Amino acid sequence: MSGSLHQRCAVLYLLLLTFFTATLTAQNTSAASTFYLPKTETQFSFNLANDSNDVFVYLTSPAYSWVGVGFGHGMKNALMLVVYANAKGDNITASPRIATGHSEPTFSPDVKLDMLPGTGVSDGMFVLKALCRSCRVWPNGFLDADSTAQPMLYAFGPAKNLNSDRPDAPLKRHYNYGTFSMNMREATGKGGVPAPSSQSSGVSSESPLVRDRDSKSLAHAIMGCLAIFVLWPINIILAGFLRNIKIHIGFSTFIMVCLIMSYALGIATSGQYNRSKAFTSPHQIFAFLAILPMTLISVLPMKRIASLKSWIPRLHAPLTSLTLTLLILTGGLGLHLSSSSTPIILTYLAVSILVFSFIALIQLCVRRRGSAYARASTRRRLGDEDEQDYGLAEYWARRKLEGSRSQSQASSNVTWEEEQQRRRPKSQESQSRGVFGGGTMPGPHYMMNMHPGVPVTFK
């Protein structure tokens, strides 16, 4: 009987201990709304403290170049918390930013974000535990604590690590992005960092993960490289080895159109990034400098301008080389501005050296022998036969040769004296008139005569 009583007391003690432990755990657990993305094992949870304006944040995600979560319908006027690896790669940098449009968000020093213990990089995952003291209201936006469907957004940068201690470090365009909405009432309660979870709670709607495509930047790079590395060398060959200058002019116009399109796309892309919005980067400065020689190349060959001074046409070749050099430097600086990888930059450098050397060799050959158009113009000015009519001239030369051969065959029976008489110049005939002996030159029968022109009879 006593043994049974002891067993009952032990069971009751365990039940009471379990009850009090669960009660304490429930009291210590903060209210939170959680968004969980199974595809990337990304969790974003936050808690609204009911006794203050503080917002507690918990974020864990794979270590892409950067990961961002924001409050807002879209990027415009949205407050975003962006996380990326620090310079050493052993911790994270958390940067509160505000976006002014569909562009890179700008660091906001007015938003105070305190990093809490447990923040860092663990097993290739970013872990952020933070207290945001100014996250409920920001310029042109606020967090509605009574909303049951607060619009939210998130984005992932490319796989390349950023590694920076700067809160305003430049970001590459996001690789994927998505949206969802959360219940703010469910997230309101006792203040504290939410616990890790692999289940969504308080999420009322969610859009699928979208793959982003930066078509403008890609088209900007393709148009520029096409004009510099493909069309430009072809145009140099056309200018040096074709007599028809109109082909060179038409091809140059096409190159100019490609460059104008590349410039327009580059200007449209510049507004998407903080590092290029002010148009003060070396890439943009060199691009604007290249406009001057390009304009001179287009204007100076005009007849009215080229005829003003004799040295104006000679500026075309050096201006072409200067423009090409500036455009190649502009492209290389553009790769640096866009944070391109080292293999892409080295490939661009190798192609640039190859194309520049090829063009320099072609220009050297043309300079030594002269362009086909210049040689044709010189021949026309001197009245020489033009290469365009070379085939026709060769045809008439053959006809003339055939005619001379037929005449030689027809006159094969003419005597030697008659042939000499026929070939004698008219000037000699006029001089021989009035000379004694009838003006006849000594023939073969008078070779022994000491007085040429006097007939002698041999018996």
Task: Report whether 132 contacts 81 (CB < 8 A).
Answer: yes
Architecture of the 215-380 domain: Up-down Bundle (1.20)
Strand-pair partners of 93:
84
Of the two residues 326 and 456, the one the predictor is more confident about is 326
Residues of the chain with CATH 2.60.40.1210: 29-211
d(CA 385, CA 373): 14
DSSP 8-state assignment for residue 259? H
d(CA 73, CA 153): 7
User: Given this model, what pLDDT does residue 73 score?
Assistant: 83
What average pLDDT is seen over the chain? 80
Q: C-alpha distances in angstroms, 144 versus 27, 135, 152, 185, 255?
A: 25, 11, 12, 9, 54
Predicted confidence band at 127 (pLDDT cuts at 50, 70, 90)? very high
d(CA 214, CA 194): 35
DSSP 8-state assignment for residue 144? -
User: Which residues have C-beta within 8 Å of that of residue 87, sequence separation ≥ 6?
Assistant: 163, 164, 165
Q: CA 390, 394, 396: angle at the middle one, nearest 5?
A: 120
Rounded to 5 degrees, φ, ψ at 34 are -130, 135
Determine how β-strand 79-85 pairs with β-strand 33-37.
Answer: unpaired
User: Given this model, what pLDDT does residue 371 score?
Assistant: 72
Task: Report whether 40 contacts 51 (CB < 8 A).
Answer: no
Say which range, 1-5, 63-67, 264-268, 397-401, has the weakest mean pLDDT: 1-5
Handedness of CA 256, 260, 266, 267 (dihedral sign): positive
User: Given this model, what pLDDT does residue 400 score?
Assistant: 66
Whether the pLDDT of residue 165 is over 90: the answer is yes
The whole model's pTM is what? Answer: 0.70
Q: 346-377, pLDDT tens digit by residue? A: 999 999 999 999 999 988 888 887 777 666 66
Q: Which CATH code fits 29-211?
A: 2.60.40.1210
Residues of the chain with CATH 1.20.120.1770: 215-380
pLDDT (mean) for 394-415: 60
User: Given this model, what pLDDT does residue 134 score?
Assistant: 78
Task: Report whether 93 contacts 86 (CB < 8 A).
Answer: yes
DSSP 8-state assignment for residue 201? B
